[in-house]
Amino acid sequence: MYQITFSEQSMRELAKMDKRDQMLLLEPISSLTAEQLAHPREPLGKFHREGVTYYRLRAGNHRIYFEIRGETIYSHYILDKNSLADFVFRTKLPISDQQMVEQHQSFWKYLESLKK
């Protein structure tokens, strides 16, 4: 069993949720085993970026991006599924946390403006 720690971004996302949604989100990550991490299958994925092994766990309407640090699961990001931020992180585009938020909001506003 792993200890779970969260980045500031992950904590902010958790704080936005009600307790029930928090529990539904945390249950899949808290029950991960070493075997599952060694041989990921849906809803768990694994990729490498800049020498770090990241995992992506699909949990309901969210995606949790984390790495293993010894006996600790460190959650870097909790993102909404099918969001621009999720897409950007998965496709490895160079972007900061703040830019992800700004681009996500402005991108959807831009798409809405095209409908008019």
User: Is a pLDDT exceeding 90 seen at residue 18?
Assistant: yes
Give the mean model confidence (pLDDT) for residues 39-46: 94
| More confident position, 105 or 92 | 92
> Quick one: pLDDT at residue 116?
54
Identify the band that residue 113 occupies on the pLDDT scale cut at 50, 70 and 90.
low
User: Is a pLDDT exceeding 80 seen at residue 72?
Assistant: yes
In the chain the domains, ranked by start, together with CATH numbers, are 3-82 (3.30.2310.20)
Give CA–CA dist 31/12, Å, rounded. 22
Sheet holding 52-59, edge to edge: 3-6, 72-80, 62-69, 52-59, 44-49
| More confident position, 1 or 106 | 1
User: Is a pLDDT exceeding 90 seen at residue 41?
Assistant: yes
> Quick one: pLDDT at residue 87?
74
> Quick one: pLDDT at residue 64?
95
